[in-house]
Amino acid sequence: MTDGQNPYRLRITLVYVGLMLFGAAIAAKLFAIQLTEGDQWRAKATNLVTAMRTVQSERGHIFSDDERLLATSVPEYEIRMDMRASGLTDELFQANIDSLSWELARLFGDRTMEEYRQDLVRAYDRGERYHLIRRRCDHEQLQALRRMPLFRLGRHTSGFIADKHTVRIRPFGRLASRTVGYVLRDSTAIGLEAACNPWLKGVTGKRLERRLTGGVWMPVDGGEGREPVPGSDVHTTIDMNLQDVADDALAAQLRKNGAHHGCVIVMETRTGYIKAISNLTLQRDSSYVEDYNYALGASTEPGSTFKTAALMVAMEDGRVSLDQIVDTRGGKLRFYDRVMNDSHGGGYGRITLGRALELSSNTGISQAIDKAYRTEPARFVEGLRRLGFGTTLGLPIPGEGKPVLRGPEDKKMWSGTSLPWMSIGYEVSVTPMRMLTFYNAIANDGRMVQPQFVRHISRDGKIIRRFPPVVLNEHICSDATLAKLRACLEGVVDSGTAVNLRSAHFRIAGKTGTAQIASDKAGYKVNDLSYQASFVGYFPADAPRYTCIVVVSSPSKRGIYGNIVAGPVFREIADKIYSNRLELQAPVAMADTVSRMPVSLSGRGTDLVTVLEALKIPAQVDGMDEWVNTSAGDSLVVVGPRTMPAPGTGLMPNVIGMGLRDALYILENRGLRVRLSGSGMVKKQNPAPGTRPAPGSTVTLELAI
């Protein structure tokens, strides 16, 4: 190589060496990034991630039948601050931090001014982009925050961020709360919130957000996206006035009887629309709350309310007649190795089968059914299945209790005593809602309709779907069978086990029930053995408008029988409905002139005074107590106190001059049985007032107009 070529060789060598060094530098940097700086750069890359994230839509409202809000979504805000906002300078931050901290402490009261100041200063020094100030803030607090020093300058200058969320509230508290339901954070829902979720949930939206340190996502201003679409509104069948009455009546009776839990359902007879439903459970602090839907979910042995179904099957098969005579056998009857007892000691002698239903005779009903189906028990079970027992109602609300109705094909569970015990409501399980549906069919001229909770769905004020009545069985039995059983159910209240529920203004028909309930039923455990008292019926009996069932479980005071424990809840609801529904009341013929004050029965003082004031009848109150005497003159009614012995003394109270309802209330709540004759007000009583009868004695009342 010549000397002239040396400069080129040198240049090539330098370029080559330079390239080698550059490559080595790149390799070294890659090595350093991979092994020593990797975590730092990966974290930084993560912080710069943006993505389209889901924005939840606002759920629709749930309304009562009278258009009151049962469940709604209200805005709630999470307050944060961007310490790197473009307009937030050091001078601006320092000039406002003290006054801002003072305002925050005054508004929320959870921290002192100095604690707020230190927290904000630390966040500013770290340059946090999404610093949390307050997690839950309502609309009024948000407006106050927007007026605070620094924050009033707007988001870009102050870094103020208010992220809106919605929370679900129930304005009526516990009233029908388990039926209305709720939505959990994981989107799990119960009650109508779950059943109507396809309409309530709406359509989710999309929003561009940036992920910051710590996995927090912050919305990007001006980012693209799609607004969420709010859900539709659900209009239920629940009448909140009636719901309030049912809840109060049930709660009072549960407390009075020391019961563990209970439920009540009121159904509109013709449509099956549920007008009121309450489920209450005793808590450790002796309060009652709605924490389980017993009406839909508790499948238990119904007891004597099932006797009507047993007789309906046998009557339709032509195996029994309500006119046939049965011997109640002194109140005891043996089937194989088991003895069946009547609640009435000594039985009722020889009575018709219809009367056995009115008096709820276990021995009378069971021997008639056992004799009719002993050789064909499967036919009896099949008849019950035709009435819908053994299947669910298919309600949209999740959690409907599973029924139990075994037949002879179940060799392990069926025995020779299964048939007679099934006839009186044992070895079979149903929910209160199923039993109500059966009795509602009786009231509805044999037409069984499905219970309904929703009347229609609306969107922007327009109805988009209606829920008309759904017929489950067009005719559960013949007209002849229906008429005979309806007469017996009226007899239960007129002269049978529920005579204490009889009303002077309208007729009630129904059936009492008392059952022994074994432990751990329907997901709850009370005692090893407890009682369940129930009453199911309809009113007015001659033209039914409403059907109602009351179930009280594990009463520990005053009694266990359906007429005493559950019946008063039914009666109070029926009275309130009747008094507030003018269409149920027969017109009253009024004379043009009244020459004398009307006769007023003695009774509860506050009730009598309220009635006298409402009717504008002049009254002279000479003293007031819980119970009062009244006397009518030509120009006014005189009201005076009536002394009643305290329940703990054991002395016989004076009920002479009272109406039957008040007299029964006083006597039966003291553990006394009552035998009646005549009608009107109480004219005589035996034992006499002031005597000391034995507990459980029978009091004879003579009534006259």
| Pairwise CA distance, residues 67 & 451, whole Å | 20
**Residue 640 contacts residue 609 (beta carbons within 8 Å):** no
Answer yes or no: is 43 within a domain: no
Average pLDDT over residues 538-546: 95
Please check whether residues 228 and 254 belong to one and the same domain: no
Span 151-174, pLDDT tens digits = 999 888 888 988 888 788 888 888
547 in a structural domain: yes
Are residues 672 and 631 part of one domain?
A: no
> Does one domain contain both 541 and 604?
no
d(CA 358, CA 486): 11
Quick one: tokens of 564?
């005493």
Q: Tell me, yes or no, whether 7 lies in a domain.
A: no
CATH (domain of 491): 3.40.710.10
Report the distance separating Cα 346 and Cα 653, nearest Å: 28
The reply to whether 196 and 305 lie within a common domain is no
Q: How far apart are CA 376 and CA 380, in angstroms?
A: 7
- Give the tens place of pLDDT for each residue, 340-377: 999 888 889 999 999 999 999 999 999 999 999 999 99
Q: Nearest-CA neighbor of 124 among 172, 91, 169, 164?
A: 91
Render pLDDT for 435-465 as a digit per residue (tens, 0 to 9). Answer: 999 999 999 999 999 999 999 999 998 999 9
In a domain, 201, yes or no: yes
163 with 279, same domain? no
Q: Which of 535, 555, 583 is the last residue of a domain?
A: 583
The residue type found at 493 is: V
Separation between Cα atoms, residue 623 and residue 54, nearest integer Å: 69
- Lowest mean pLDDT of 17-21, 189-193, 618-622, name the range: 618-622
Q: Are 125 and 95 within one domain? A: yes
Looking only at the bridges linking them, the beta strands covering 350-352 and 338-341 are unpaired
Radius of gyration, CA atoms only, the chain: 37
Q: Is 68 exposed, middle or buried (0-12, 13-18, 19+ CB in 10 A)?
A: middle
DSSP string, 599-640: P--BEEHHHHHHHHHHTT--EEES---SEEEEEE-SS-EEEE
Q: What is the DSSP annotation of 133-175? A: EEEEE-HHHHHHHHTSTTGGG-HHHH-EEEEEEEEEE-TTTTT
CA distance 85 to 158: 7
Assigned token pair, 500: 């204490």
Q: 505 with 604, same domain? A: no
Number of domains in the chain: 4
Structural domain boundaries enclosing 342: 240-583
Classify residue 188 by burial, with Cβ atoms within 10 Å: 0-12, 13-18, 19+: exposed
Pairing mode, strands 69-81 and 160-169 = antiparallel
Number of alpha carbons in the 13 Å side-chain half-sphere of residue 111: 14
Which CATH number do you get for residue 684? 3.30.10.20
pTM over 0.75? The answer is no
| DSSP-assigned beta bridge partners for residue 465 | 457
Residue 23 lies in a domain: no
CATH code, domain carrying 179? 3.90.1310.10
Cα–Cα distance for residue pair 236/60, rounded to 1 Å: 13
Q: Which one, of 582, 504, 509, lies nearest residue 543 by Cα? A: 509
Q: Which residue, 445, 450, 451, is CA-closest to 475?
A: 445
Q: Is 506 helix (H, G, I), strand (E, B) or coil?
A: coil
Domain stop point among 213, 236, 259? 236
Is the domain of 192 the same as that of 249? no
pLDDT tens, 171-199? Answer: 888 899 999 998 876 567 889 999 999 99
Say whether pLDDT at 521 is over 50: no
- State whether residue 111 is helix, strand or coil: coil
**Nearest-CA neighbor of 443 among 687, 218, 268, 669?**
268
Please check whether residues 204 and 341 belong to one and the same domain: no
Helix (H/G/I), strand (E/B), else coil: 521: strand
Distance of CA 401 to the CA centre of its chain: 15
Cβ within 8 Å of residue 669, ≥6 positions away:
558, 564, 647
> What integer pLDDT is reported at residue 26 of this predicted model?
78
**Nearest-angstrom CA–CA distance, 380 and 326:** 19
Range with the poorest average pLDDT among 81-90, 228-237, 421-430, 660-669: 660-669
Let me know if residue 269 belongs to a domain: yes
28 contact partners, CB below 8 Å, separation of at least 6 = none
Give the contacts of 514 (CB within 8 A, at least 6 positions apart): 303, 304, 343, 531, 532, 533, 534, 560, 561, 562
Q: Is residue 10, in this structure, part of any structural domain at all?
A: no
User: What's the pLDDT at 2?
Assistant: 52
Residues 570 and 636 in one domain: no
Residues 265 and 370 in one domain: yes
Report residue 30 CA to chain centroid gap.
Answer: 66
Query: What is the 8-class DSSP label of residue 281?
Result: E
| Pair (606, 701) in one structural domain | no
**Tens-digit pLDDT profile for residues 457-475:** 999 989 999 999 999 999 9
Do the domain assignments include residue 44? no
Q: Are 518 and 510 in contact (CB under 8 A)?
A: no
Q: Locate tokens 């439920």: which residue?
A: 263
- Looking up tokens 């129904």 gives 510
φ, ψ of residue 439 to 5 degrees: the values are -70, -30
Separation between Cα atoms, residue 58 and residue 60, nearest integer Å: 7
- Say if CB 401 and CB 263 are below 8 A apart: no
Higher pLDDT: 653 or 219? It is 653
pLDDT at 523 over 50: no
Q: What is the pLDDT of residues 390-437, one digit of tens each?
A: 999 999 999 999 999 999 999 889 999 999 999 999 999 999 999 999
